[in-house]
Structure 1
Amino acid sequence: MSAPKLESIITCPECGASACETMPTNACQWFYECTACHAVLKPLPGDCCVYCSYGTVKCPPIQQGSSCCTGGT
């Protein structure tokens, strides 16, 4: 199995700003503060982290076909 991609572009649903971020490999990221408008993003229902909800690339555990930690919804 290939190594997961670790960079994802998060797009803020509030202001539309995008930022390239490096995903953690050892934990889910349940919150993300937009660098432009400072809105705090949380995962959408059914998603485990902000990368799965707002990123161009799903988090590393999901990419590898395993379950991710439970979301903090």
Structure 2
Amino acid sequence: MPTAPITVHPPLGTGGRRVTARGQILGLAHSDADVIEFLRRAGLPGAEGLLDDPSWVKWRGGRAHHYEAA
């Protein structure tokens, strides 16, 4: 099974989550809106519909959609 191309990494101790696409860092997200903007800039205009699709986005560590410090 192929892995999801987008990874939202565990929350950092200072808050926020690193977002990568196939290993390339897109940015540090503090909200779903940030993730959607990073994905839009990466060429995925329908990004808001991808956040809960495990074939597109893998949420690592912590709960999905939570960005507070670990």
Is the shorter-chain TM-score for this pair beyond 0.5, marking a shared fold? no
More helix by share: 2
TM-score, normalising length: structure 2: 0.35
Indicate the structure (1 or 2) with the bigger Cα radius of gyration. 1
- Between the two structures, name the one with larger relative contact order (CA 8 Å, sep ≥ 6): 2
